[in-house]
Structures are given as C-alpha cells and as structure tokens.
Structure 1
Amino acid sequence: MDEIQNPFHRLNEQLTAARNLSGTAATIDVWASVFKCDASNSALLVNHFSALLDLVSEARAAAERFIPGDKTRFLAPLDRIDKLLKSQHLARPWAQFKPYLDDGTMVALDFGVYAMSQYYPGASAEGSEQIRDFVQKLDVLLEECLTSDLSAELKSLFIKHLESLRAALMKFRVEGMSGLEDAMDAIIGSIHRNSGPINAEAESGKVIIQKFFDVLGKVNDMISGYQTAAQIAAPAVTALLLPLLN
C-alpha cells in the first residue's frame, strides 16, 4: 500500500533513467541498467520488459478512464513509447532508439504525471496515505470484531462488511470510485435492514460498531473530496447510522 499508484510517474522515472544513459551503450545494457539486473539474465529482462509494457497499458487505461476532455496529449507519448519498445533491437546502440524519448515525449509524460495526481484515485501521496490509513484501521477493527462480544449474527455481518470495504479500498486506486460506491451503498443498506439486532446489541458490542461507522464516514469524506467524485451514499454517512446505536 505504500507505493503511489501513478503509472505516468513510474513510466517517467524509468524512461528518464534510460534517456540519461549514453547513446554509445548497447540497448540491452541500457535497459539492464534501468531494470537493475544483469544483461545476461534473459528471463529477468523479459519479465521487466513485460512489466514495462503492462505499465504503458495501465497508464493508457487510466488516462482514458479518469482524465476528462481531450486525452490526445496524454496518449501520444504512450504511443511513442509503445513504438520504441516494439521496434528496438537490443544488440544495437541505444543512440538508434533514444530519439523516441525526445523532449516533447518527456514533457507530455510530465503533463500526464500532473493529470494523474488530479484525477486518478490514490495517485497523490496524500490520497495514498489516506487509503493506507483506512486499510490499517479496518485490519485492527477486524481483529477486534473477531474477539468481541458481538452476537454471532452481528459478528458475521460486520466481518463481511469490514472485508468488503477493505477490498473496495484496495481496488479504489486503480479502478476508481464505482466499486467503492457500490460497496458503501451495500453496507449502509445492510446495516439499516439489520437495525433491529444492532439496536438490541449490548453496549460493549456497540463500541466496535461505532468505530466502524466512524471509518465509513471518513471514507465518504475522502471520496467526496476528489475532483471527479460525486458525494456517495449520503451527505453524512455517520449521521445516517448513529441513530442505530441509540
């Protein structure tokens, strides 16, 4: 969870490293240096090239899905990188292929890095930190729930909801808001359907339920703060749920 999920940023880092290497070097040696592996390790090089192609595809999918308006300027450098990776000859000098990474391509990648930080969930350090913090809190709550005095019925219910929200948060940074919105809606609907058993629960069990409601409210606040996000579930999730604990 620590890594910031910005595919343009990761592409920019690797391609900047390749661009800074001498054109007189063999292309295979350039990439071995970028990938930090031995040029004689063919299997490892193949894996790294496959991962780099996947990263280009990830950046393309993210740009098409999350960046509003005309996406041409963000997709153009990805097309050029694809051509580089698919046309290069590893035994030849890097100077023959280095021009694919010209100033225009690198500047366009920089624009992509910035656009992702604005529109792509979890692409900023702040967003990544928030998501990691929520997942850690949910992990703690899951442990507390497992050892709590909640009734078997509610224990099973809240374990399911804790796991569902955790999974949705893990996917949020790469899949966007829809999955998390669906998870939140399903959880809140389920909680209201089970309001009777929740109200009847002993006060000691309601402490964990209160903590879960607090996390739900804070997740809602985080999502509504994204520029491309609409307010989800309700204007104030906690306000909807707290009456169940009275």
Structure 2
Amino acid sequence: MDDMQNPFERLYNLLDIARGLPAHHTALDVWASAFKISPSDLPGLISSLQSLIDDVSHCRTVVEKFVPGDKTRFFVPLDRVDALLTNQNLLGLWSAYKSYLDEATMLGLGFGIYAMSQFHPASSSSSSPQIIEFIKKLDELLEECLVSEIAPELKKLFIKHLEAIRAALLGFLVDGGEALEAAVDNAIGSILRHGESIKAESGSGKEFVKGFFDVLGKVNDLVSGYQTTAQIASSTAVTLLLPLIS
C-alpha cells in the first residue's frame, strides 16, 4: 500500500518532519516548513492544515472499516494528533506543542501503517495496476458486446453486469470489497440463471462470453484475496460457468 493510499503513512511522514524542527520556532513556521509553503501563504496554510485534519479523520474511518478486533491502539495516537491541532496557537513556540508527538504517538501511527498494509484492500502493491487493467478490459468488452451478434436480451444483461463491476472496481481501493463482491456474485447468479441461452450463443457472441468469463474469474480472484474469512463469490462458482462456453 503506497503512501498516497495510506493515510497513516501520509500523517506519520508529515508529523515526523514537524517533530524534527527546532523547538524555538513558532508553530506557524514549523507547519509552513512541513508543508513546504511560505509562512505568509495563508490560503495555502489553511488548505494544508485542513488536509492534515482530513487525514486524521480518514485514519479513523479506515480503522473502523477494515481493522478487526480492538481498535483502541490505533485511536490513541490519533487523539493525540487531534489534541495538537485543536490546542495550539500558531504564533506560540513549537516547544509548547512538540510533546504531543512523543515516541509513543509516533509508534502508534507506525502500527497504523502496518495495519493498513495488512487489512486495507489497497495493501497489495499490485492492486492498483490490476484494477486499471481490469477496467481497461471491461471497457473493451463493453465495445465488443455492443457490436457482437449476441441476442439482444443477453446483450442487455451483460452490459448491466459490465457496468456494475466497473463501478465497483473504481471504488474498491477506497471503500473495500463489499460492492465488488455483490457485483461479482450478482453476475455469476444471473449468468447461471440464463445458462441455456448463453450456451446457445455462437460466433462473435461466444467469443465475447469467453472474454467476459475470463475477466470475471480474475476479478473474482481479487475479491477472494480481499476476503480472508469469507468468500462470497468463490473460484468454484466461476468454474461452474465454464460449461456454458465449452
């Protein structure tokens, strides 16, 4: 999970810079240095501080959503950062606020980085490229479907599922796998219900169906990798579709 997708890592990296700056500087100068902007750039400072506040809030959200078990250890350092941001005078000396970023707080944020790498759906470095490739293939399949000889009622069915899976993939890294699970599960169930009609397809229609099943299987693998305890749309379910194109 890279730092652009990991709010804990963004937070840690910025605060680590801030805590290393001289205690005799004003808080204003410290934040300006950490954000790499001029102390006189008021709009930039306000925007940057708001982004920092948003990252703290986002950290809480992803912990609640993705981290199992006791979440207290992840909230304690976030509480400290919140206290820092709500109890400072920007014209006051950094020495009055630097203690909020003690070793325990930074260690707690470090635990957050690790937790995201284990439980967040974007933890795999290959997830983003995979999803980009899947979306590209789904766009190609949509074009193929529109010009194929597949029966109109099946064409409508496949277009619905292509669009649903595409939308769920776009939200996967941010929202997790719930919508993607549902999209894959719905597609498998719908295809099984229309099995006889699909099996009767020939020519360009059959080639399109093969391509759709290939992508569906790969997207299902992505879902299954995210689901560590329960796999709604298992590989076995996708295998059941293979006789429809044999």
Aligned counterpart, 1:97: 97
Which residue type is aligned with residue 232 of structure 2? I
Q: CA RMSD in A?
A: 2.4
Q: Is the 8 A contact 2:12 2:109 kept in 1?
A: yes
Which residue type is aligned with residue 49 of structure 1? L
Q: Is the 8 A contact 2:224 2:233 kept in 1?
A: no
Aligned counterpart, 2:117: 117
Which residue type is aligned with residue 108 of structure 1? G
Aligned counterpart, 2:162: 162
Q: Tell me the CA shift for residue 84 of structure 1.
A: 0.9
Which residue type is aligned with residue 55 of structure 1? D
Deviates more, 1:203-212 or 1:96-105: 203-212
Task: Provide the C-alpha distance between the structure 1 equivalents of 2:145 and 2:157, rounded to a whole number of angstroms.
Answer: 10
The residue matched to 2:121 in structure 1 has which SS?
coil
Q: Is the 8 A contact 1:122 1:131 kept in 2?
A: no
Q: Is the 8 A contact 1:24 1:94 kept in 2?
A: yes
The residue matched to 1:230 in structure 2 has which SS?
coil
Aligned counterpart, 1:134: 134
Q: Do the aligned partners of residues 214 and 51 (structure 1) sit closer, same or farther apart at CA in structure 2, a change above 3 Å counting? A: same
Q: Which runs of 5+ in 1 are unaligned?
A: none
Aligned counterpart, 1:73: 73
Task: Provide the C-alpha distance between the structure 1 equivalents of 2:147 and 2:27, rounded to a whole number of angstroms.
Answer: 57
Task: Provide the C-alpha distance between the structure 1 equivalents of 2:149 and 2:17, rounded to a whole number of angstroms.
Answer: 55
Deviates more, 1:31-40 or 1:73-82: 31-40
Taking every aligned residue pair, what percent have the same amino acid on both sides?
53
Aligned counterpart, 1:62: 62
1:33-61 per-position Cα deviation (integer Å, ceiling 9, x unaligned): 33333333323322222222221111112
Q: Do the aligned partners of residues 3 and 241 (structure 1) sit closer, same or farther apart at CA in structure 2, a change above 3 Å counting? A: farther
Aligned counterpart, 1:34: 34
What TM-score, normalized by structure 1, do the two folds share?
0.87
Greater RCO (Cα-Cα under 8 Å, separation 6 or more): 1
The residue matched to 1:40 in structure 2 has which SS?
coil
Q: Do the aligned partners of residues 224 and 116 (structure 1) sit closer, same or farther apart at CA in structure 2, a change above 3 Å counting? A: same
The residue matched to 1:37 in structure 2 has which SS?
coil
Q: Tell me the CA shift for residue 114 of structure 1.
A: 0.7
Q: Tell me the CA shift for residue 132 of structure 1.
A: 3.2
Q: Do the aligned partners of residues 14 and 188 (structure 1) sit closer, same or farther apart at CA in structure 2, a change above 3 Å counting? A: same
Q: Tell me the CA shift for residue 109 of structure 1.
A: 0.8
Note the 1:1-246 alignment, pairs <5 A. 5-226=5-226, 228-246=228-246
Q: Tell me the CA shift for residue 229 of structure 1.
A: 4.3
Q: Is the 8 A contact 2:4 2:10 kept in 1?
A: no
Task: Provide the C-alpha distance between the structure 1 equivalents of 2:162 and 2:4, rounded to a whole number of angstroms.
Answer: 23
Task: Provide the C-alpha distance between the structure 2 equivalents of 1:211 and 1:197, rounded to a whole number of angstroms.
Answer: 17
